[in-house]
Amino acid sequence: MGGRWVGDNRYATRSMTKESSSAKSSGSQNGQVMPDAQVLAASSVESGTSEGPAERGRTLAYLSRIPVERVKGLGGKYGGMLKKGGIVSVMDLLFHFPRRTIDRTLKPPFSEIPLGEEVTAIGTVTRVSTRRPRAKLTIIEVTLTDGNSPLIVTFFNQPWLARQLPEGTEVAISGVVDRVRGRLQMKPKAVDVLSGSTEALVTGRVVPVYATVNKVGQAMLRRAIHNALQRSRPIADPVPERILEALDLISRDQAFADIHFPEEKIDEGPARRRLAFDELYRLELALAIRKHQQLARSQGVQHDVTAGLVQAFLESLPYQLTGAQENAISEIQADMASSHPMHRLLQGEVGSGKTVVALAALLTAVQSGFQGAVMAPTEVLAEQHYLGMKPLCDEVGVRMGLLTGSTADRESVLSDIAGGRLDIVVGTHALIQQGVHFSSLAMAVIDEQHRFGVHQRVQLREKGEDTDPDLLIMTATPIPRTLAMTAYGDLDVTELDEMPPGRSPVETSVLPLADENVAWAAVEEEVAAGRQAFVVCPLVDDSETVEAASAVAEHARLSRIFAGLEVGLLHGQLPSVEKERVMERMRAGEIDVLVATTVIEVGIDIPNATLMVIEDAQRFGLSQLHQLRGRVGRGEWPGRCIAISDAPWKLTDKGVVANPDGKARLEVYASSTDGFVLAEADLRIRKQGTVLGERQSGVPDLKLANILDDHDILAAARQEAFALVEIDPDLAHHQELREDLRVVLGDSGEFLLHS
């Protein structure tokens, strides 16, 4: 690329105008004394084009095509280091937002400087002394005055300062001030020699602090971003003016200026809010486009929701559905009556009755003359679903089969599926393997969907012949509504927020490892009363690198402790036949205490089990802890859960995020049995990036937006995005916005806009 791209300073804001002036009047003659204090010289970023009039502004698409090496100071090794760190273009550089800012605008008299806080002190040098107490150590002591009080600033191994800070020099020094032996002393972090009213990028202002990139430090990043920003402006704003006015958002151009180099600390708020809106708006636009495409290119089945099979099934149940279950079934059947395939997420508390709702959806397909399938992530869970659903299906004459990797009569089951002799099939990944052919699949249920990749979900839907099956995704891990609006925004969401009557919360306590005997006494107590217990360990076998309880070792140890009891063992490395045999014995009451890994985390239903003991509980996530707790108390007796941990724990008024992760999880776990409360706390502890990553569907990083705290911005972004896509499905009439998505979302944006 050739040519030179020169910014137009007419469009610079007050902060940019100020810095431009600062750059012209400061430099080597101004006596700059530290690398971090150097001011960016007025220079340009090069580009191969001059796209669009300056009045309209430069788009992100345009800035994405300018290599980062074109920024002054980044043409050599620094540009290469940034590229290795993922900053390839000027757009990437502008999206490298500060982690925090330091307010160096405070200039109190020395006598009023708050101790222990970082401030900027401006004064005149009255004395400079040099000491060399030993080899390779030079101490420069500079005395400043504000006209009334002295301030001592000490520098180490910077001998050139004695020449650059002669007596009478006006200087601004930033750092933390303390009183030592009655004298005010500062540990300096940045220093600038002042000339007139000129100030540099690091003193007398709000200073951005960036995450270093591949050893490219603060000084270089600050200068490069300042230069790139100055030469990129004005930055075009593709968001309709109507939306900006309705939501009281500042312009994108002003937001970039204020997020990087705010005039005042307060400037960061509106800037962060605007750029957070942009992140969420792009995300919701992508989700809205994906949902519209799914509807446009899919042909579903219009199911008969008035036939009597579902009603007969509901009447055969030995209990009354909750209001939430009834509402969920109504929502699902309304979807299934449409010609568009259903894409719905069903979530709820452990034990809230999702399986019954899913079975009602499957039977809606069966009564319309089609087949249904349930895909679970593990054989244990698939077998649990099969055993739980089959008696209910038998009651209404519906044929049901099981297909897993260890199914003995596999060929017979495959023949029955292809021939339509099975109405509903429950299985694992085996359902999507080659050789599995459905006669008329029209309803697919995926349980614990986060354990499957997107492609596996697509593969199951492709088992339908001429139409796309309706899709119901179930999760027993409650998802905060804000997360559902982002990571699952292309799905309609149904929540089961009501528990069946008579289901009492599981009593939960946390014990230090030293008091584990209390847990073993509780096990003996429950077994003596005729009930059963689980003991869960984080590892299968002992590890040389991880110090934690293993199921194999604990099974041997607890078999000795509970010498008169039947102690079983279950983990994922056991052969399928052995796992099935263990679960059959547990269901039959032949095992008193089952030592297991998280293989029992979901779907296990043993009504006689009333006690859950979790060892090394700090090693589990909150969702896992909650799922494990949900395995007990599912019958007529209340459940108890004891978490054993060597992590310190106690409830404090500082909130969970103020503590280390393991301790924080146990604190909130002990304090609440509400799955949605725990899910939100887990999201705060684990950070949203981790959770969003589990979606495996191209959800972009959120650099500024916080999906828990920015719920009002998220709701507005979602409403505006879906409304726009409704009238302009492929953004053909909003080309700049379309390009915005393409360049910022990367591969997922390309996929959305070209599929």
- Specify the pTM: 0.66
- Both 74 and 188 in one domain: the answer is no
Other C-beta atoms lying within 10 Å of the C-beta of residue 462: 12
- Both 580 and 601 in one domain: the answer is yes
Which residue segment(s) compose the domain that 84 sits in? 9-99+211-236
The mean per-residue pLDDT over the stretch 491-518 comes to 84
Q: What is the rounded CA–CA span in Å between residue 168 and residue 165?
A: 8
Of these ranges, 52-66, 465-479, 663-677, 729-743, the one predicted with the greatest mean pLDDT is 729-743
- Both 442 and 583 in one domain: the answer is no
- Both 220 and 84 in one domain: the answer is yes
Residue 59 covered by a domain:
yes
- Both 656 and 532 in one domain: the answer is yes
The residue among 627, 657, 672 that closes a domain is: 672
Residue 63 covered by a domain:
yes
Per DSSP, the three-state class of 688 is: helix
| Percentage of the chain modeled with pLDDT above 70 | 79
Among candidate residues 637, 636, 640, 662, the one with its CA nearest the CA of residue 649: 662
The mean per-residue pLDDT over the stretch 86-98 comes to 94
Q: What is the rounded CA–CA span in Å between residue 520 and residue 567?
A: 13
Residue 262 covered by a domain:
no
Among candidate residues 239, 290, 243, the one with its CA nearest the CA of residue 739: 239
Residue 344 covered by a domain:
no
CATH value at residue 195? 2.40.50.140
Q: Is the pLDDT confidence value at 602 over 80?
A: no
With a CB cutoff of 8 Å and minimum separation 6, the contacts of 729 are: 289, 292, 293, 296
Residue 490 covered by a domain:
no
Cite the DSSP H helix spans in 201-322: 218-232, 241-247, 252-260, 268-297, 309-316
654: burial class by Cβ within 10 Å (0-12, 13-18, 19+)? exposed
Residue 689 covered by a domain:
no
Q: What is the pLDDT of residue 422?
A: 95
- Both 35 and 86 in one domain: the answer is yes
Q: What is the rounded CA–CA span in Å between residue 738 and residue 753?
A: 8
Task: For residue 755, give Cα distances in angstroms to 254, 699, 730, 740, 750.
Answer: 34, 17, 10, 17, 8
HSE (side-chain half, CA atoms, 13 Å) at 418: 10
Q: What is the rounded CA–CA span in Å between residue 735 and residue 461?
A: 33
248 backbone φψ class: left, alpha, beta (φ>0; ψ -120 to 50): left
482 within 8 A of 605, measured Cβ to Cβ: no
Instruction: Dump pLDDT digits (tens) for 276-320.
Output: 999 999 988 988 888 888 777 777 789 999 888 999 999 999 888
Q: What is the rounded CA–CA span in Å between residue 481 and residue 484?
A: 5
Total number of domains constituting the chain:
4
Q: What is the pLDDT of residue 348?
A: 81
Per DSSP, the three-state class of 122 is: strand
Residue 251 covered by a domain:
no
Residue 144 covered by a domain:
yes
Instruction: Dump pLDDT digits (tens) for 361-379.
Output: 999 999 999 999 999 888 8
Q: What is the rounded CA–CA span in Å between residue 177 and residue 405?
A: 68
For the record, the structure tokens of 677 come out as 């409360």
- Both 551 and 591 in one domain: the answer is yes
The mean per-residue pLDDT over the stretch 13-35 comes to 33
What is the pLDDT confidence band of residue 453, given thresholds at 50, 70 and 90? low
CA 606-405-447 angle, 5° bins: 50
Question: CA 580 from chain center: how many Å?
Answer: 36
The residue among 672, 701, 729 that closes a domain is: 672
CA 29-222-121 angle, 5° bins: 60
Q: What is the pLDDT of residue 31?
A: 31
Per DSSP, the three-state class of 710 is: coil
Q: What is the rounded CA–CA span in Å between residue 457 and residue 373?
A: 12
What is the pLDDT confidence band of residue 454, given thresholds at 50, 70 and 90? low
Q: Residue with structure tokens 């916080």?
A: 706
Among the listed ranges 476-490, 559-573, 614-628, which one has the minimum average pLDDT value?
A: 476-490
- Both 205 and 315 in one domain: the answer is no
Instruction: Dump pLDDT digits (tens) for 214-253.
Output: 888 877 888 899 999 999 999 999 999 999 999 999 999 9
- Both 65 and 36 in one domain: the answer is yes
- Both 215 and 204 in one domain: the answer is no
For the record, the structure tokens of 467 come out as 């139409």
Strands 100-103, 206-209: pairing kind? antiparallel
- Both 232 and 328 in one domain: the answer is no
CATH value at residue 413? 3.40.50.300
- Both 148 and 220 in one domain: the answer is no
Among the listed ranges 13-17, 195-199, 645-649, which one has the minimum average pLDDT value?
A: 13-17
CA 746-750-751 angle, 5° bins: 115
533 within 8 A of 610, measured Cβ to Cβ: yes
